[in-house]
Amino acid sequence: MSEAKRLNESWKFKSADEENWFPAVVPGCVHTDLLRNERISDPFYGTNEGELQWIDKKDWEYSSVFDVPDDILNSSYVNLVFAGLDTYADVYLNDEKILSADNMFRTWRVDVKRLIKAESNALRVYFRSPIQEDLPKLERLGYALPATNDQSERGGLGDKKLSVFARKAPYHYGWDWGPRFVTSGIWRDVWLEGWSQARIADVFIHQKEVNAAIAKLTAVVEIESEDAWEGALHLVADGIDVTETVRLEAGVNKVEVDVVVESPKLWWSRGLGDQNLYTFSVTLVDGNTAIAEKSVRTGLRSVRLVRDEDDQGTSFYFELNGVPVFAKGANHIPNDSFLTDVSYERYKHEIVSAVESNMNMLRVWGGGFYENDDFYDLCDEYGLLVWQDFMFACSMYPGDEAFLNSVRSEAEENVTRLRNHPSIALWCGNNEIDTAWSEYDEEGGWGWKQQYAPETREKIWRDYEAIFHETLPQVVQSFAPGAEYWPSSPMQALTRDKDQHARNDSSVGDIHYWGVWHAVEPFSNYNVYLGRFMSEYGFQSFPELKTVQSYASAGDMALESDVMRWHQRSGDGNRLIKEYMDIYFKQPKDFPSFLYMSQVLQAEAIKMAMEAHRRKKPYCMGTLYWQMNDCWPVASWSSMDYYGRWKALQYYAKKSLRDVAVSIGGTDEVIDIHIISDVLHETKGNVHLQLFDFKGLLLKEYTHAVEVKGNTGQVVLSLSASDLVENHARNDVVLFVTLEQDGEVIDAKEHYFVPANQIALPLPSITATPVEGGDGSSFILETDVLAKSVCVTSDFEGIFSDNYFDLIPGVPKTVQFLQRRPGENTFNPAAPGPITIRSMADFIVQ
């Protein structure tokens, strides 16, 4: 049996040009070690980031001394394993160089049997500056490659954009929501592994055919054997117990074991069924002695990307176990600029937040990194499908042999690592590069290709195709046969002509629609530009005041202060938030009010988009907004800030993405009431409509019986706005629509007849009454006049069951507080302590 010893302890580090060593933490990076040793100030505070750009220009050394236990020392093979080195690193063991690493996304394994000794082994890792390493590559290439989000100027490099040369997380070089911290360090675990006779390197459960009746599987077992060997391979899982005789040759062997599971317990995404998981354990047995073993976990399911021609274009949706799935969710970016600061609890908070928000998919965006195992394990457990990008985004890349070989090795390793996760629904080559370059449309793209002479331009595109149309699909097909691959997002189809590139009005492929925000188009355009799958769209807001205070002082609390501009990486971001706010909302009375108003503005925009997409089901079958999370405290497109605090958008998403939802569409004069169902059974109930004035007087009331088939959406009622409102003032009435089933309210939505900036908003008096006989976590809110966008806050960290909601007089609202306690992994009902209740009227100039 193999034995392992973790080598994460007792590390020290220093700058290569200095003598003094300081304690280091592994896994970690130079920036966090410098901060921990008080050598730098908080990188996220104020404008400190600008003072820390010297770090990536220097070389750094890490050093450790370790002993080797006898069971490892006496093994036939001893491997030193680095699960992650960031990025250019030379490794020395007992003064002998054993490894030169050059890819952050790879694991590095070296046989060190001949070098180790029982005691005092000296391990040293020398990190070469990624900046100094890659500057010569740019010089040798002779021309710059496009890398729109590489903030080279902020890094003191002028226009020398180097991120494309390093196989390293692109966002480390800056993005339009993130800082520039080009890190170095041992960023994943280190261990020593000894083995004799045989080692099981990998187990892949190849799911060849899976349905409710049968699962036909092949367990592909990769075994490294010391010598030729014959024995038994034992495969065990729930309801499975197979033993086969195997004959191994010295070296690497692949053994395949066919397995049939009758009536398998299928894995489903959240909302469609249970997340059943199987653990497959493989053991090599010599007589009665186990000599090697390995276990993997997977869920049995079939998933495919359905792109069939229809009378409206070509479909684009995911089918899970034969069921079309409307994908609801968001784009995920790394949770921190410093990846080793992301704990399991932070991962679980994000995944549980997505589940609480009725999501069923996250897209792991291509400018970050292939996520840690914890992320995918949690997605498996909670039923979130994963759209997985390869790590390429918004840039063109070199195509030399060394780079392509590195990409291939990186892809092979990460596809192998992740292929057993049932949550993985798609492998996507890159983010936005096909549309940015637009090879086949001379007028299209981001203006990149026009910068180059024809010969250079041809080479850049040829290099692109070598990565995304050749290498990556080959790797997916070879290492995860049957898995889906999509070359670039967004894209229409791989046609090698003008029809390849995405368009906002396309009926083919997926769409990133950014007309709202970047082009200052009206929110109503979300109802116009509707594709088959909306994989990106977004709108910015600031985080809440408590978060802003974590990076700014009282004197910085102004939209155009240096700190507010520093913590806004979208060039026109602050101006755009204010411009849209001037269009749609009344004027906030001060800067803290502006923060609140920005969140409601963002939420209203994305609500319109999410519900427009869902109303077009089954033409549109996916809505993934940009973005779920943040990597530092900042104004951005996120729905949940760096500290995991839910913005208004997260609460809106929870409501707009309900599995059975009411959505109100139509025009100013025709109001369409939609019922959208993502569940598989029929929904029968009543739509209840009430027209109130803002003082709570019930003006009209209707009840309409509805029957909606499972996994569909339909208009159940169309109404004339004029007939509804009649002679009442349009700026003083609200339509309240509920879907009721068996006496229970399934969903509720409000509809206003004028824009928000025309609604009369007197100051309400809101009361909160604890629920009788409860645990103190729940309370009932009531108001005397309409209270819009009611915001309930507590000093404790956590969420409310609902927030940023409208409160109508005579329609009480019960809200529960769910506390997030340090070290705990889910939201727990708890008394919120003193709460503050405010509505939009408290934040605007009256």
The C-alpha torsion from 792 through 796 and 797 to 801, rounded to 10°, is -40
pLDDT, mean of residues 72-101: 97
Average confidence score pLDDT of the chain: 96
pLDDT at position 2 over 80: no
User: What's the burial of 251, exposed, middle or buried (CB within 10 Å: 0-12/13-18/19+)?
Assistant: exposed
d(C-alpha 734, C-alpha 668), whole Å: 14
State the pLDDT confidence band at 571, using cuts at 50, 70 and 90: confident
Dihedrals phi, psi of 696, to nearest 5 degrees: 95, 5
d(C-alpha 804, C-alpha 603), whole Å: 9
Instruction: Using DSSP, state whether 417 is helix, strand or coil.
Output: helix
Nearest to 161 by CA among 141, 138, 139: 138
State the pLDDT confidence band at 487, using cuts at 50, 70 and 90: very high
Q: Are the CB atoms for 425 and 361 separated by under 8 Å?
A: yes
Q: Are the CB atoms for 766 and 790 separated by under 8 Å?
A: yes
Q: Give the C-alpha distances (Å, rounded to integers) separating 383 from 113, 327, 360.
A: 43, 12, 7
Nearest to 232 by CA among 171, 284, 288, 273: 284
d(C-alpha 451, C-alpha 458), whole Å: 12
Other CB atoms within a 10 A radius of the CB of residue 583 amount to 13
Nearest to 839 by CA among 766, 767, 753: 766
Q: Give the C-alpha distances (Å, rounded to integers) separating 533 from 343, 432, 608.
A: 32, 15, 16
- Secondary structure element (H or E) that encloses residue 170, with its range: none
Q: CB under 8 Å to 821, separation ≥6 — which residues? A: 797, 828
pLDDT tens digits, 177-191: 999 999 999 999 999
Q: Which residue has the tokens 């499975």?
A: 240
Looking at residue 347, its amino acid is Y
d(C-alpha 539, C-alpha 652), whole Å: 13
Q: Are the CB atoms for 674 and 665 separated by under 8 Å?
A: yes
Helices (H), 391-506: 401-418, 433-437, 454-465, 472-479
Q: Give the C-alpha distances (Å, rounded to integers) separating 131 from 128, 516, 558, 800.
A: 9, 36, 35, 45
Q: Taking the CA atoms of 573, 576, 582 and 585 in sequence, report the sign of the dihedral they define.
A: negative
User: What's the burial of 833, exposed, middle or buried (CB within 10 Å: 0-12/13-18/19+)?
Assistant: exposed
Q: Are the CB atoms for 622 and 534 separated by under 8 Å?
A: yes
d(C-alpha 236, C-alpha 279), whole Å: 8
pLDDT tens digits, 577-625: 999 999 999 999 999 999 999 999 999 999 999 999 999 999 999 999 9
Q: Work out the percent of the chain whose per-residue pLDDT is above 70.
A: 100
pLDDT at position 644 over 70: yes
pLDDT tens digits, 491-501: 999 999 999 99
Nearest to 131 by CA among 33, 55, 226, 57: 57
Q: Are the CB atoms for 163 and 395 separated by under 8 Å?
A: yes
State the pLDDT confidence band at 667, using cuts at 50, 70 and 90: confident
pLDDT, mean of residues 25-37: 98
Q: Give pLDDT, residue 825.
A: 65
Q: How many CA atoms lie within 13 A of 552 on its CB side?
A: 28
Q: Are the CB atoms for 39 and 51 separated by under 8 Å?
A: no
Q: In this structure, which long-range contacts are made by residues 377-380, counting pairs with CB atoms below 8 Å and at least 24 apart in sequence?
A: 377/297, 377/421, 378/347, 378/348, 378/351, 379/351, 379/421, 379/423, 380/267, 380/275, 380/277, 380/297, 380/299, 380/421, 380/422, 380/423
Q: Give pLDDT, residue 821.
A: 83
Q: Give pLDDT, residue 146.
A: 97
d(C-alpha 476, C-alpha 222), whole Å: 18
Q: Give pLDDT, residue 241.
A: 94
State CA 241 to chain mean position distance.
37
d(C-alpha 84, C-alpha 138), whole Å: 25
Q: At what angle do helices 591-615 and 648-656 cross, to 10 degrees?
A: 20
Q: Give pLDDT, residue 792.
A: 98
d(C-alpha 819, C-alpha 208), whole Å: 44
pLDDT tens digits, 806-832: 999 999 999 999 999 877 668 999 999
pLDDT, mean of residues 512-529: 97
Q: Are the CB atoms for 270 and 245 separated by under 8 Å?
A: no
- In order of start, what are the domains of the chain with their CATH numbers? 3-191 (2.60.120.260), 197-298 (2.60.40.10), 326-547+618-655 (3.20.20.80), 658-759 (2.60.40.10), 761-846 (2.60.40.10)
Q: Give pLDDT, residue 774.
A: 86
- Secondary structure element (H or E) that encloses residue 828, with its range: strand 828-829
Q: Are the CB atoms for 259 and 235 separated by under 8 Å?
A: yes
State the pLDDT confidence band at 334, using cuts at 50, 70 and 90: very high
Dihedrals phi, psi of 549, to nearest 5 degrees: -65, -15
pLDDT, mean of residues 506-518: 97
Tokens of 187: 């960023």
State CA 834 to chain mean position distance.
33
pLDDT tens digits, 398-436: 999 999 999 999 999 999 999 999 999 999 999 999 999
pLDDT tens digits, 244-257: 999 999 999 999 99
Q: Are the CB atoms for 674 and 616 separated by under 8 Å?
A: no
- Secondary structure element (H or E) that encloses residue 606, with its range: helix 591-615
d(C-alpha 88, C-alpha 65), whole Å: 22
d(C-alpha 258, C-alpha 572), whole Å: 57
State the pLDDT confidence band at 760, using cuts at 50, 70 and 90: confident
